[in-house]
Structure 1
Amino acid sequence: MKFEDDYTSYWGLRGLPFDNVPDPRFYVPCVQHDAAHRWLNYGIQARKGILLLTGDIGCGKTLLSRRLIVGLSPAQYDVALVANPALSPSELLDEVLAQFGLELVQSKAARLQMLNERLQLNEQRGVSSVLVVDEAQAIESLNGFEELRLLTNFQLNDRYLLTVVLIGQPELRGLVADIPQLNQRIAVRAHLGPFTAEETTAYIGARMEAVTDRTDVFTKEAIASIFEQSQGIGRVINTLCDQCLFAGAIEQVTQIDDRLVQRVGPVTNTPMAVEKSAAKDLNGIGSYREVISKYASGRQ
């Protein structure tokens, strides 16, 4: 095998099973992810004010959010996705309007009026308005959170015209708790942690099943070693499996066993490797329209 070739041809794969990009087609159901998905869906359908999803780094928050978005029919939901909210309060409001496809105007009052008119129009059309804010722990100040809270003041007959979904790392819960007015409006709270050993086995099997009919590429011992080294963190599992498949193709082995995993693991789990993986994940994030366009074929 040439180094410039990928490993898919060697293993007979139809694609890259462990690419660290939040692709809903590779969503693997497990108890905690399914529960979080159901709660968020409920909150959106019931038009609750603010929903909160937190999770440890690399545990699938972004992938779950993309699956959630892809499952929302554009005929029934007007969705705006703010993927990088590390902005000042005024910039954050501008980004919200931009993601709803609205033109920016000078006056803040005029911007809010424009957004209110959009939400009112959606209400008249029978369309629910949803704002998804990913990596919400990166919001620069408490005033930024206050801007988002104020957006839920848009109401009609005691019904919220906008549902805000905040997604972020565990520290987001502390940030929200410091703003009682915001904290009290959170109707749904969900949290994602690492996979269990059983979930890791199912996860690797399902990702491989999506691209090959082979069920024996990773031995049971290899999967156990992957779980031990990754501690059940999905992003690390992806990186480790990806590197094992590449190394296995280079070495021309017929299976990935625990010895290969143990050789690859120390390299894969360095801070540099995890940082690169996280950056790759972030690069896969786009606007709501980009998510729908890219993954329309994978809508469930």
Structure 2
Amino acid sequence: MYLSYYGLKIKPFQLKPDPNFFFSSKGHKRAMAYLEYGLSQEDGFIIVTGEIGAGKTTLMRHLFQKLEREKFIAVQLVNTHLDSEDILRMVAAAFGLAHLNSTKATLLLELEQFFRQSDREGKRVLLLVDEAQNLSPSALEELRMLSNFQTDDKLLLQTFLLGQPEFRKILLGNSMQQLRQRVIATYHLGPLDTDETKSYIEHRLTTAGWSGDPFLRDDAFNAIYNFTKGIPRRINTLCDRLLIMGCLEELHTLSSVEVNEVIRDIQQEFDLSILSDDESDEFKPATA
């Protein structure tokens, strides 16, 4: 709707994770450094936690985009409400292996053969598991057991676990001691600060072909930050709505007045009294 009006090539605030829009905030730079270190070790588990919409998946896809494809096989699991055997089936399916009606023993043999064949071909195998806080203890244990497949000098599978903040508490449980011993790098990705929020918005607009139209006043950036708390996905949702409104109203300058009008529209569309705390947090304005 607003692309042609503002001369943009693509939507700047789409919700799906896109590594082409990766923004290197202070937190994202540190997280990337930990990830690259962990990747260089060719060993164990790497864990990234953060609030919903903090940019964990985009961060990982940016890392994977930098990999030499002929040297890596990387897959992602996004459905994680699974028990122990289901997680093995999902891993096998992600790597393109037979998995329907397979016993646990068969699944493990198929996976081990695949890992060893990949190693003989000079390829490293990476597994990215999103929403890891939803995994059952038995499913996490199966993932840990997969890290037992190794040659004389290296592991055949390296696993990245992405989760919400509560995943850190899960890892501190008594049953997670063996998994914790396999973790070689971990980082918690926090929200953007005020200045980073402004830079993030301008970065995404510029990536989409922005040439200064619409012009966003400083008070607009402040209002966006106060409402979104610096969480990228919330920023994207609000800014997309803001550009739609700007287009409909034929505006070329956007201020806190327009931002607050969009915020009121969002609040009116959702009866916060019937939402859970986690859901309503997505739409509550932050305190200044």
> TM-score normalized by structure 1?
0.85
SS in 1 for 2:82: coil
The residue that corresponds to 2:263 in the other structure is 265
Alignment of 1:82-161 (within 5 A): 82-104=77-99, 106-139=102-135, 141-161=136-156
The residue that corresponds to 2:204 in the other structure is 207
The residue that corresponds to 1:184 in the other structure is 181
Counterpart-to-counterpart distance in 1, 2:216 and 2:78: 34
TM-fit CA distance, 1:70: 2.1
SS in 2 for 1:173: helix
TM-fit CA distance, 1:158: 4.1
TM-fit CA distance, 1:275: 5.8
Q: Does 1:50 align with 2:48?
A: no
SS in 1 for 2:108: helix
1:242 counterpart (235, 240, 243): 240
1:24 counterpart (16, 19, 25): 19
AA paired with 2:235? I
Q: How many residues align?
A: 270
Counterpart-to-counterpart distance in 2, 1:121 and 1:7: 50
The residue that corresponds to 1:220 in the other structure is 218
TM-fit CA distance, 1:75: 0.6
SS in 2 for 1:75: helix
Does structure 1 conserve the Cα–Cα contact (< 8 Å) formed by 2:50 and 2:190?
A: yes
2:253 counterpart (252, 255, 258): 255
Distance 1:231 1:215, change over 3 A: same
SS in 2 for 1:165: strand
SS in 1 for 2:161: strand
Q: Does 1:15 align with 2:10?
A: yes
TM-fit CA distance, 1:60: 0.7
TM-fit CA distance, 1:35: 1.5
1:64 counterpart (42, 59, 64): 59
Q: Which runs of 5+ in 2 are unaligned?
A: 283-288
Counterpart-to-counterpart distance in 2, 1:163 and 1:223: 40
Does structure 2 conserve the Cα–Cα contact (< 8 Å) formed by 1:151 and 1:162?
A: yes
Give aligned-pair identity as a percent.
36
Does structure 1 conserve the Cα–Cα contact (< 8 Å) formed by 2:7 and 2:210?
A: no
Counterpart-to-counterpart distance in 1, 2:76 and 2:36: 16
SS in 2 for 1:48: coil
TM-fit CA distance, 1:11: 1.3
RMSD: 1.8
Counterpart-to-counterpart distance in 2, 1:127 and 1:34: 27
Does structure 2 conserve the Cα–Cα contact (< 8 Å) formed by 1:52 and 1:166?
A: yes
Q: Does 1:169 align with 2:164?
A: yes
Counterpart-to-counterpart distance in 1, 2:64 and 2:264: 36
TM-fit CA distance, 1:238: 0.7
SS in 2 for 1:253: coil
AA paired with 1:126? G
> TM-score normalized by structure 2?
0.89
